[in-house]
Amino acid sequence: MARPRAASGADAPKEPHAVSLKVLRLSRPSLAHQSPLPIANTKISNKAPLSFPSTDSDDQFILTPNYDPALTLHTSSPSPPAFGSVYVGETFACTLSANNEITDDEIDKVVTSVRIVAEMQTPSSVASLDLEPASDSAQVEGLATGDSLQKIVRYDLKEEGNHILAVSVSYTETRIGQDAQAASGRVRTFRKLYQFVAQPCLSVRTKASELPPLEVDNKSLGPYGKTRLLRFALEAQLENVGDGAVVVKQTRLNPKPPFKSMSLNWDASSDVSEIGPPTLNPRDVLQVAFLVEQEENRHEGLEALQKDLRKEGRATLGQLSIEWRGAMGDKGFLTTGNLMSRKRT
C-alpha cells in the first residue's frame, strides 16, 4: 500500500503580508484631443463632449485637426501596461510605496524596520538603484496602520529592449502580548518584478563622405613642403519614431582627435532666435550636417588615425549627441556610438 505523501512547507497556505507594494510612474501631463459631435437634429449640443467649448471648432469636418485640447493627468497602476510609452534617452521615474495593510481588528500586530531595495535589469546589465526617500521616520519609528513609506527611483534609459524593475520589500512583523510586551517578531520579505519595453524616440541614420583634402604649408618639409589635412562631410537623418512631437534643442558632434567639427545647421546662424529649434511631429525627418576637418599641427590621435586608415581604410570621426524636449518639457538625450567614414576603395 502506497504511503501518503508527506506535507511540505510549500504546500502550507501562505499567510498574507502585512505590507503591500504599489508602483506608480511619475510623468508629466499630456494634451488630450477632443472633437465635437456632428450637427444633428437633436437637443444635444454638438459641443457637449468638449471640456472647454470653443468657437474655433469646425462643426462640419470633425476629423480635421481642429481639436479642443485639454490637459490630461496620468496615474499608473502597478501593472506594466500602465507605464505607457517609455523611450530611450529619457529618465524613467516612479514612486515605490510600501503600505501598512494591517486592519483595525489586528491590534496585536506592529510593523517596523520597513526597507525598500530596487534594481533595474536591462538587456546588457543589472544596476542597483539609488532611492530618494520622502521620509525615513518609518524605518525608525515603525509604520502605523494605514501609513506608507514612499521612495522615488530615477533611471536614465540608454538602450532599447526589455527592462525589468525589481523591487524588494522587507519588514519586521511583531506581535504584542496582553502585557504590552513584544511576544515575538519575525522578518518578512517579498519581491516583485515590473517589466516594460524601452523604445527609441529618435531614429538616427548617418552617412560620412570624404572631401578633397586641404593642403597647407609645412615649414619642416622645406619651402615647398605641403601637409594634406583630411576633411569629411557628416550627414545625419533624425526621424521621430515616437508618439508625440519633440523639439530638437541641440545636435552636437563630439569629434575624435585630431579632428574638429563645425555645425552646418540652424545653430550655425549668428541669430539663432530668429530661426528657433526645429519641431518634429511623429514620422517627421530632420536632416543635419557637420564639416569634420583634421586640425593643423595637432598630434593627439594622429597615430591612431593613420593606423586605422592603413588597417581598415576608415577614420573614426566622433560621436553625435542629440538633445530634445517633449511636448510638456520632458528632457531627452541620446549619444551615438563612434561614427566612421566610408571605407576607401
CA–CA separation, 293 vs 300, rounded Å? 14
Q: CA geometry: angle at 167 spanning 138 and 330, to 5°?
A: 95
User: Residue 143: its pLDDT value, please?
Assistant: 81
Asked whether residue 172 is assigned to any structural domain, the reply reads yes
CA–CA separation, 296 vs 228, rounded Å? 9
- Please tell me which residue, 343 or 168, carries the higher pLDDT value: 168
Asked whether residue 270 is assigned to any structural domain, the reply reads yes
Contacts of 267 (CB under 8 A, 6+ apart): 250, 251
Indicate if 105 and 210 belong to the same structural domain.
no
Domain around 285 = 202-340
Nearest Cα residue to 89 out of 160, 165, 28, 157:
157
Indicate if 182 and 208 belong to the same structural domain.
no
Asked whether residue 128 is assigned to any structural domain, the reply reads yes
Is residue 139 within a helix (H) or strand (E), and if so which, with residue range? helix 137-141
Indicate if 122 and 211 belong to the same structural domain.
no
Q: What CATH number is associated with residue 309?
A: 2.60.40
Which amino acid type is present at position 56?
A: D
Total number of domains in the chain = 2
Indicate if 271 and 305 belong to the same structural domain.
yes
Indicate if 227 and 262 belong to the same structural domain.
yes
Q: What is the mean pLDDT of residues 33-54?
A: 63
Indicate if 255 and 331 belong to the same structural domain.
yes
Indicate if 22 and 152 belong to the same structural domain.
yes
pLDDT in tens, 19-34: 999 998 887 766 666 6
The mean pLDDT value of the chain amounts to 80
pLDDT in tens, 160-200: 999 999 999 999 988 876 555 555 678 999 999 999 999 99
Domain boundary among 199, 224, 258: 199
State the cell numbers at 307: 593606423
Domain boundary among 141, 166, 199: 199
Indicate if 209 and 185 belong to the same structural domain.
no
